[in-house]
Structure 1
Amino acid sequence: MSIVIEQAVEARLVAAAPRMASIPARLAYDARDPFAVRMSFPAPATLEGVEVCWTFARELLTSGVTEAVGAGDVRVRPYGYDRTVLEFHAPEGTAIVHIRTGELERFLSDSAALVPAGEEYLHVDMDGDLAELLRDAF
């Protein structure tokens, strides 16, 4: 069984990036990093002209399809009956995208089949992570 899930989604750009009204974004979930989701945007859709990847909590995305959540760099909220808004705040500006809620729910369902919500801690290698953290400390 694969430990990584990737799903292409169509993001409708609302603000903060030139040239494209709709962009092909990619969601990724890796069971080795069970609390996180990654969303990447292709180079033509970014101000810098390079691919940009945001990493944020899976729980933020899960909650954001039904209620407004987030107070930091990433904020998520429902929009209408079939869209979810993701806001990405950076020093360079803010990007706001709309994604079909059904696409997000399918991705979240697939990630939950891989690592059920509440069981993420079972997939964390605490000893390995601690050893990596302390590797250069001595």
Structure 2
Amino acid sequence: MSIVIEQPVEARLVAAAPRMPSIPATLHYDRRDPFAVRMTFPAPATLEGVDVCWTFSRELLLAGLRDAEGHGDVRVRPYGYDRTVLEFHATEGTAVIHVRSGELRRFLQATSELVPVGLEHLQLDLDRELAELMRGTR
């Protein structure tokens, strides 16, 4: 069984112009980091011209499908019938994108099949991670 789930999604960048350009993005979930989701935007879609990856909690994405959630760098909220808004806040500015809620639900369902919500802690090997942290302290 795979330990990683990747799903391309179509994101619409919200800008001042009336037409929202479509940009590619990839959602990524790795069983070895069971609480986190990554969303990656390829270099041509970013101001810096390099791949940009945002990491945030799976719980935030789940909750943001129902209600406005998040107070930090990443915020998620429903928008209309089948859209979800993701806001990414950085010192350079804020990017606001729309993603089809159905695509997010499919991704989250796949992550839940890999690691059920509420059982993420069972994927962690805390003894090994603590041993790695302590290795350099002697």
TM-score by length of structure 1 reads: 0.94
| Paired letter, 2:129 | D
Specify the SS of the correspondent of 2:44.
helix
Higher mean displacement: 41-50 or 96-105: 41-50
Runs of 4+ with >6 A deviation: none
Specify the SS of the correspondent of 1:63.
helix
Q: What CA distance in whole angstroms lies between the structure 1 residues aligned with 2:76 and 2:59?
A: 11
Contact persistence 1:44–1:50 (CA under 8 A): yes
Q: What CA distance in whole angstroms lies between the structure 1 residues aligned with 2:91 and 2:122?
A: 35
Q: What CA distance in whole angstroms lies between the structure 1 residues aligned with 2:136 and 2:47?
A: 36
Task: Indicate the residue corresponding to 2:106 in structure 1.
Answer: 106
Equivalent residue pairs, number:
135
Specify the SS of the correspondent of 1:96.
strand
Task: Indicate the residue corresponding to 1:137 in structure 2.
Answer: 137
Alpha-carbon distance, 1:129 to partner: 1.6
Aligned-residue sequence identity (percent) comes to: 72
Superposed, which structure 2 residues align to 1:1-138 within 5 Å? 1-15=1-15, 21-138=21-138
Identify if the C-alpha distance between structure 1 residues 131 and 15 changes in structure 2 by more than 3 Å, giving closer, same or farther.
farther
Unaligned runs of 5+ in 1: none
TM-score by length of structure 2 reads: 0.94
Specify the SS of the correspondent of 1:50.
coil
Q: What CA distance in whole angstroms lies between the structure 2 residues aligned with 1:38 and 1:129?
A: 21
| Paired letter, 1:132 | E
